[in-house]
Every structure is written in C-alpha cells, then in structure tokens.
C-alpha cells in the first residue's frame, strides 16, 4: 500500500492596516472573520458595534448617527498563501498558489440637509473588490492539452450600505443591506478528438442579491438622566441582525464532437455556494469611563 501524501501549508501575509490573512481570505468573509477597518481588526470586532467609522454600516448602521463627521476611507490588504504537497510518486508540487489583493473603500455622509423633515440621517457605504476588481466575473475558457479544472474559491465583491438616524432621546435605529452576487456562465463548444476547438461561445452574467441588516442602539444616560449623574453613565446597548448571505455560481457547459458526440452534445453542470453566512444576531454592551 502506498502511503498517503501529506500536505504542508506555507502562509506569508503582509497587510496595510495590520490585517491578518490566511488562505481563506476573501471578500465574502473579511468583515466577519478579520474586520474591515483598524478598530475592528485590533479589537477582534469587539468594538465594531460601537465604532463611529464607516465600517459600522455593516456591523451596526444605527451607530452612524453617533458622529456627524463625513469621511472617506481607503485600505489595501495583500496576502500571499500557498499550499504544497509532498508525494513519494510526484515529489514536491504546488497545489494552490493564488495571492489575493483586496481593496476597501468607505464613504460616510450626512444626508440631513437632503430632506425637509428635519430628521438627522447618516449614510455609510463600504465597498471591497478582490484583485482590484479584475475578478468580478472570474471565468475563462481555453484549449489545454492537459485539461482544466474548475477553480472558484472566493467572493470577488463586498458591498454594504447602511443608514442611521436618531429616533428618540438616546435611541438610534439603522437599516442597511449587504449585496452579494449570483453568477451564471454558459459554455458551448464544438471540438474534435484532437482537442481543436471551434465555434466556442462563453456567456457570463451576474446579478445582485440583497440581504437585510437591521440594528438599534440605546444610550442609557441620554435616555434616563441627561441632566444628572447616574450610575449607568456611559452605558450603551446595541443589537443588530444580519440576514443570511452567500455567493453562488452556476456553470452550464455543452461540448459537441462531430461523429462521436453529436448535438445536443455532452453536458456538464456545476453549482457552487461560497462564503455562506447564516442569520447573525449580535448583542453588545459598552461602558465608557
């Protein structure tokens, strides 16, 4: 019996903003696994519910109302990871070597003057793209003597939009959405037994899928004793709900080999789900002294 090969994983990561990175780094789980901005990363997301920066548009959009400042944020994360295997038959070879570069952009703005309601309203937008946006529709097809394998392991886009506003003394609410992509690709090709392909057609499309984010923030001091000293001065409570999300891909391929496999040809159907996250309920408390 031949012994099974064993795997060695080498990880090398460098990141602006001190963001950690492993082989699972992708735009689909960056916010929940690592964090978006330095405060989120440094506190292991413990302070993300009470972060006045634009990243709170994803974690707790109600907290956007705690700061009237507008801001524009940009960040870059680069990670180089590889997976190698040692085999008695093939020696050492690389199984995966696919670096990732993630760009994050954030915008926070005061929308209070856009309406005549006199209601304070604040907007936050977080946008992230994988490999500088080159992988939004990461599909390709080519002729290869050794064959090809389907490789799709990360969600290429992160997009979250949130709005926060004051409702009552010490009570803020926020609503938002996380946008994911549903990608579809269809491949039709006619080839011969030598592998020469002609009349090849590849169609790729993607449509957005919206998932809800609802949050509430409660400041005990401002509600119960705004003009006096109380034992719960500086105490805040926050709750957020984020609906389940995932990035899905469907590929339909049809190959025709005249004289061997005529029309309608050989069908290959592939369906994948990446970066799945269930419904997330978050409850946090903060005491500032």
Report domain extents, the chain.
6-287
Range among 55-64, 131-140, 203-212, 256-265 with highest mean pLDDT value: 55-64
* Tokens (6 digits) for 105: 């952009």
Give me the pLDDT at residue 228, please: 77
Res 12 pLDDT > 70: no
In whole angstroms, what is the distance from residue 137 CA to residue 144 CA? Answer: 21
Give me the pLDDT at residue 157, please: 79
Q: Within a 10 A sphere around the Cβ of 12, how many other Cβ atoms?
A: 10
Percent with pLDDT over 70 in the chain: 79
Report the sign of the C-alpha dihedral through residues 35, 37, 38, 40, in that order: negative
Model confidence at 160, in pLDDT bands (50, 70, 90)?
A: very high
Percent with pLDDT over 90 in the chain: 27
Residue 55 near residue 32 (C-beta atoms within 8 A): no
**pTM, to two decimals:** 0.74
pLDDT digits (tens, 9 = 90+) for 59-111: 999 999 988 888 999 888 776 767 788 888 778 877 767 677 788 899 999 99
Element (H, E) at 164: strand 157-168
């Amino acid at each position: 019996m031949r012994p099974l090969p064993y795997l060695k994983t080498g990880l090398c990561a460098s990141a602006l903003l001190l963001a950690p990175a492993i082989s699972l780094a992708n735009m689909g789980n960056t916010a929940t696994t690592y964090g978006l901005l330095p405060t989120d990363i440094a506190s292991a997301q413990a302070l993300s519910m009470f972060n006045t920066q634009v990243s709170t548009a994803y974690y707790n959009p109600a907290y956007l109302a705690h700061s009237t400042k507008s801001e524009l944020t940009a960040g870059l994360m680069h990670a180089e990871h590889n997976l190698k295997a040692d085999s008695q038959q093939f020696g050492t070879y690389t199984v995966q070597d696919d670096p990732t570069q993630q760009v994050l952009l954030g915008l926070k703005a005061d929308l209070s003057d856009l309406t005549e309601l006199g209601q304070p309203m604040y907007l936050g937008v977080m946008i992230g793209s994988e490999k500088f946006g080159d992988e939004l529709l990461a599909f390709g097809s080519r002729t290869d003597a050794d064959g090809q394998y389907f490789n799709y392991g990360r969600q290429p886009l992160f997009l979250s939009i949130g709005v926060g506003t004051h409702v009552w003394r010490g009570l803020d609410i926020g609503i938002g959405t996380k946008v994911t992509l549903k990608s579809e690709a269809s491949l039709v090709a006619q080839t011969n037994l030598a592998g020469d392909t002609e009349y090849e057609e590849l169609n790729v499309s993607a449509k957005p899928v919206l998932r809800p984010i609802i949050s509430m923030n409660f400041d005990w001091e401002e509600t119960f004793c705004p003009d006096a000293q109380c034992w719960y001065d500086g105490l805040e409570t926050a709750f957020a709900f984020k609906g389940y999300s995932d990035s899905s891909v469907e590929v339909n391929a049809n190959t025709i080999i005249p004289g061997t496999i005529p029309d309608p040809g050989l069908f290959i159907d592939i369906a994948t789900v990446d970066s799945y996250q269930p419904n997330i309920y978050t409850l946090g408390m903060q005491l500032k002294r």
